[in-house]
Structure 1
Amino acid sequence: MKNISLILAAALLAASSLSAQARDTKHLLSVEEAKAQKDKEGVLDGSVKFYFAGQQHPAVITKLSSDVTNQKTNAVGKSDEEACKWVFLSALVQLHKKAKELGGNAVVNIVSYYKKNEMASATQYECHAGATLAGVALKGDIVKIADK
């Protein structure tokens, strides 16, 4: 019985030390470079515009909601940058879908929102990459803007 307890204690200690050493590399990457990639489903069709914090946008007619998306993607076999671009597009797809669902045509004031910490930039987004996963969290206001 004592041996089983020792084995369990050792296993728990090993597991906790492995999780404590898990990689969580922060990257600040270009919004424009990531947006230049095409999403695989073709959802980002231009019917919803995206404006990051600090970017000028047409007048807001109606604010419909605020939304947060927290996306993860498999990073195995990908560079951190490649995985981050992919998961960034996934986050935009989720915001796009929510905007369409609510009748919006734009998402404004978009900020990175990793672990509920805001990072506002008109040119960069925050991504965290590990050995197996990469993640991007975005927060923004879903609105109807005046058409140009």
Structure 2
Amino acid sequence: MKRLLTAALLTLSIAAPNAFAGDTRLELPLQDLIDSPQAKEAGIDGSVRFYLSGQAHPAVVSRMGEDVSNKKTNGVGKSDVESCRWVALSVLKAFQESAKARGANAVVDITSYFKKNEFKSPTNYECYAGNIMSGVALKGTYAKVK
């Protein structure tokens, strides 16, 4: 019994880093996600607008602090794109709730912030998908825009 347990633990310790690692990097369009039926189903209601760094947006009336949202989701049985879209919606939902609590109507200057490495694009966010988990981390500034 002890040998079996040792063998199982050894196998898991060898396989685990590969199973959880975000080994596939994807860049996906944020606006397509925001405009999708899945966004509405996830509760993205349009009361808070999202603008990537470098993307044109209305004039900022006031800034209300910066925040990071880092979410992971189960990728088993989903394509990398599907799991990335799902987890990105979780990040946007968290931003939306925090923005509303602060009285903000937008999150501006959004950058991908996976493992504290910034990726800026005026159109795309970054996602890392592994065999079991997919993750998205975004950093943005809450703002009141015109």
TM-score by length of 2: 0.86
Aligned to 2:30: 31
Partner deviation per Cα, 1:40-71 (whole Å, 9 max, x = no partner): 65532211111100011111111111111011
**Structure 1 residues 131 and 89: CA distance shift in structure 2, 3 A:** same
Q: Does 1:67 align with 2:57?
A: no
Structure 2: tracts of 5 or more residues without a match: none
Aligned to 2:45: 45
Q: Does 1:93 align with 2:93?
A: yes
**Structure 1 residues 100 and 21: CA distance shift in structure 2, 3 A:** same
RMSD of equivalent CA atoms? 2.0
Structure number with bigger Rg: 1
Give the match's secondary structure for 1:21: helix
User: Aligned AA for 2:114?
Assistant: Y
Q: Does 1:54 align with 2:80?
A: no
Partner of residue 20 from structure 1, selected from 1, 17, 21: 17
Partner deviation per Cα, 1:67-96 (whole Å, 9 max, x = no partner): 110111221111110111111111111101
CA contact (8 A) 2:34 2:44 kept: no
Moved more, 24-33 or 65-74: 24-33
| Pairs aligned (count) | 143
Give the match's secondary structure for 1:55: coil
Aligned to 2:84: 84
